[in-house]
Amino acid sequence: MTGTSTAVSQTPDLDTLLDQLTLEEQISLLAGADFWRTVPIERLNIPALKVSDGPAGARGGGALVGGTPTAAFPVGIALGASWNVELLREVGAALALEAQDKGAGVLLAPTINLFRSTLNGRNFESYAEDPYLTGQLASAYVRGLQSAGVAATVKHFVGNESEYQRNSISSDIPERALRELYLRPFEMVVKDARPWAVMSSYNKVNGTYVSESPRLLTDILRGEWGFDGLIMSDWGGTYSSGQSLRAGLDLEMPGPSRARTDLLEEARTDPATRQAVRESVKRLLHLIERTGTFAQPRDVSNAAEKGEEHPETRALIRRAGAEGAVLLKNEGGLLPLPAGATVAVIGPNAAQGRVMGGGSAQMQAHRQVSPLDGLRAALGADRVTYALGCRNDRFLPALDLPVQVDYLGPENQVIASETRRGSEVMWMSFPEGVDGDDFRARLSLTLNIPEDGEYELSLYSAGLSRLTVDGAAVIDNWTNWQAGSTYFAFGSDELRASRHLKAGAHQAVIEFVPKSVRGSVAPFSAVRLGFQTPLPESALADAARLAAQADYAVVCVGTSGEWETEGVDRWGLDLPGQQDELVSTVRAANPRTVVLLQTGGPVLMPWLGTVSAVLQGWFPGQEAGHALADVLTGQADPGGRLPQIFPARLSDDPTHPETPDLQYPGESGHVAYTEGLFIGYRHADRAGLTPLFPFGFGLSYTTFELSDARLSAAEIEPDDHLEISLTVRNTGKRAGSAVVQLYVRDLESELERPDKELKGFAKVGLAPGEARRVTLPLDMRSLAYFDEARRAWVADAGDFEACLGRSSADLPIKLAFRLKSEWSAAGV
C-alpha cells in the first residue's frame, strides 16, 4: 500500500462520516489492509492507520528481522524489575517518538499477562507475577505513550499465560482468579490510563474464544470498566465474522480478512450485525481521530520509516537497564568491581549482546552492546580479556551477509529479485508481481570459509526449503517437512548437517516455497540458514586458564531470544548447554567470580552456594553491555527487585510442570488454572516453600533502614482513606534506591485468601545519609476479594495487617488496623 498525504486537514464529524460510508466501505474497515495497516477510504479522506509491535520498541511495518533500525528498550520483565512508575512513563513517551518515526499511530503494547507458569515462552515480555505491580507499571507506560499521541494496545486480553496451543486452548480460570489476578491489571490500566486500544488474546477462556466473548469484551471491559477504545484481535485470532463483531471485537488483524469474508452478507440480512458494524467502524474512526491521524495523516509506507537514533532515548535505555538489574548475591561486597582491576569476561553471553526476547517483540535494534564491549568501555580494553567457554545457541547462528533472492516463474525464469541482509529471510511483503501465497524463491549466498575443516549447517523454515552447497544437496527440509517449534509453531524444527569444506568461497543455494498449514497458507513465510565452526574441545579449560590470570572473572551466562520466544514455551529451568559447568569451572579457577545472568525469567542455579556474586541483567535493550557495566562497576546502583519469584526447583512452580498435565501445559484443548489465586509468592506462602529468591528481592550497594511507620487511622469505615507512612534512610556510604513494599493481610475473611498481597510500593532514590518520608495510600479495593456468589468486590469487616519491608519474605514492620463494617462494590 502506498503512503498517504501529509497535508494537515480538519477532523471530520464522525457520525457524518459514518453516514457517508456505504455498508461495503464500513465492512472493509473492519479488517486490516495488510499486516500492519488499516484500510484507507480515499473518497472520504479516511487515512490508513499503521500499527507496530511492541512492546520493547517500535519495529515498524517490515518483517520481524531486518527492518528499519529502531531503539530497543529493556524487555517487560526488566522494566517490571525496576518497580519504577516514573521510569515506565518515560519509556512510554520515548516509545511514542519511535512509533511516530515509523509512521505508526498505534503501538501493540504493553503486554500485561501475569507470570503463572515459569515456563511461559513470553515470560520475558510481561512485567510481573503480581497484578498490582503490573497494573501500576502498565498504566504509567500507557500514559507516557498516549500523552504523545500514540495509542497503546494493551494485550493479550485475557488468560494467555502460556504459548502451548495458544490458538485453540481454553484457559479454564476460576472466577476469583480471573477477577483478582488475570483481569485485574487490565482493569487498573483501563480505569487509570484509559488506553485507546486493547488486543484480544488467541485463547478461549472457560470454553469461549475471548475474541467471541460478549461477557469479557462487552460486559466487563466496556460495560463495567468503561473502556471506550477499539478492540482488535491478535494476529490471526479472529475466528468468526458476525459472531466476533457482535461480541465486541471491532477489528480483525491482520488483513486482508480471512474470518470476516462473509460479513457483508450477514450485515445485509441482520440488523443487529449492521448496528454492530456501525459501532465498530465508529470506534476505528475514533482511534484515527485520537491518534491525530485525520488532522495529520502519517505516511504509512515502509519507505517513509525513519531509522535515526535519538541520543536522549539511548541514555534513557541505558539508565532503564541499570534500574532493572537485580543484584541477587554479593557476599563480602565482591561487587562493585574496583577501578584498575583486571577482568576476564567469559561465556556465551559475553561477546553477544542479549538485548531482547524473540517472536513479535523482536526488532532491528540500532545496536546490541555486549557485556564485553560494555566492560571494555568502562574499565579500559587493556584490562579486559575474553573467552567463550561454551555456547548456548538454540539454533546455529544466522550469517550476517547479503542474500540474493530470486523469485522464479513456471519456466524457472526470474520474475523479480531483491537483496536481503542476513541468512534469515522473512516475507511479510513482496516485490510487484509476486504472489505471497504462491511463489517460488531461490536464495543464493556465498560462504567464505577461512580454513579447511568440518562445518555445521542448518535449515528451518515456515515453508518448504532445501539447501545445496556448490550444487550438492546438504539439507532436505522439503520432502518430509514437519511442523515444529519455530516461527510461532508455523515453522519446522531445525535440521542440521556437517560438511567438510575447503578454504575459499562456496555457493550456498536455498530453494523455498510457502507451505499450507491447516488448509490455508501459513500467515507468513520464512527460512533460516545457520552456520557454525565447531568449538574446540579445550574451550572450557581455556576459559578457566584465562579466569585464573585475572583479578576477577565475570561469567556471562543465560539464554537469548531463541530460547525465550513466542509460539513455544520455555525449555525448562536449567541453563542450556554446558553453562552450569562453565560457571563451576571458572569459579574453581578464580574465587572472585561474578555471575552475570541474562534470562527472560527464572532459572535454577546449582552453583549458587559456591559463587560470591550474581547479577540478573535480563534482556535490557540495545545498551545492555553499558547498562550492566554501569552496575558491575558501581557507576549505577543495582536498581532492580525481582518481579517474579525464583523457585528452588521446577516442582515448586504452582503449576507443577514436571509431570505435564491438565494444569500445565494442558490437555485436550484445556489448561486448568486449578491453583486458582495461588501463583508466585501467593503459592509459596501457602505451601510454606523457601524459594531460591523471593518476590521483591534484590540487593543494593548501600544499606537502608525503614522506621517510624504509622497508619493514618487504626480503625476505618468503608470508603475511608487509609494512609501508611514511614521513613526510609540510606545508612550506607553510596547513593542507591530502596523499594519499599506494602502487603495487606486479611486476618478475618469469609473466604480463603492469599496470606498477603502487594498493594503498594515506592522506589526511593537516596544519597548517603539521606532520609525521606514515604506515604502509601490504601483504598477499599486493596482490602477486597471478589465474591463470586454476590458478583461483587467485598472487604469483610474485621482485622487487617499492613506489612512493610523489602521483599515478600522480608516484612519486619507490621501495623494492625480494623475495618469497622463491610465494604462492597458490584461487578457484572
| Residues with active-site annotation | 234
State how beta strands 525-532 and 453-462 pair: antiparallel
CB 768 within 8 A of CB 733: yes
Q: Where are the beta strands (DSSP E) in 433-588?
A: 441-449, 453-462, 464-469, 472-477, 495-501, 504-513, 516-517, 520-521, 525-532, 552-558
DSSP string of 737-751? EEEEEEEEEESS-SS
Distance CA(540)–CA(546), nearest Å, equals 10
For the record, the C-alpha cell of 796 comes out as 469483610
DSSP state of 782: G
d(CA 702, CA 729): 11
CA distance 446 to 428: 24
Cβ burial 608-638 (10 Å sphere, 16+ → b, else e): eeebbbbbbbbbbbbbbbbbbbbbbbbebbb
> Which residue, 389, 341, 317, is CA-closest to 632?
341
Q: How many CB atoms lie within 10 A of CB 38?
A: 31
Which region holds residue 610: left if phi is over 0, alpha if psi is between -120 and 50, else beta? alpha
Q: Are 552 and 344 in contact (CB under 8 A)?
A: yes
How do 453-462 and 495-501 pair as beta strands?
A: antiparallel
Distance CA 71, CA 52 (A): 13
Residue 73 phi/psi, 5-degree rounding, is: -90, 165
CB 47 within 8 A of CB 36: no
C-alpha cell at 495: 535440521
Q: Which residue has the cell 561469567?
A: 555
| Number of residues assigned to the chain | 828
Residues that bind ligand BGC (CB under 6 A): 53-54, 108, 155, 234-235, 360, 488, 566
Cβ atoms of residues 124 and 601 within 8 Å: yes
Q: Which is nearer to ligand BGC, 54 or 754 (CB)?
A: 54
Q: Does 336 sit behind a cis peptide bond, omega within 30 degrees of 0 on the bond before it? A: yes
When CB distances to ligand BGC are compared, the closest residue is 360
- Torsional sign, CA 594, 599, 602, 604: negative
Q: Give the 3-state secondary structure of residue 802.
A: strand
The three three-digit cell numbers of residue 151, written as one number: 495509542
Q: Which helix (H) or strand (E) holds 255?
A: none
Cell of 579: 553453562
* Residue 160: φ, ψ to 5°: -100, 75
- Contact predicate 398/460, CB 8 Å: no
Contacts with 394 (C-beta within 8 Å, 6 or more apart), sequence order? 560, 562, 563, 571, 576
3 state SS of 786: strand
The whole-angstrom separation of Cα 775 and Cα 596 is 35
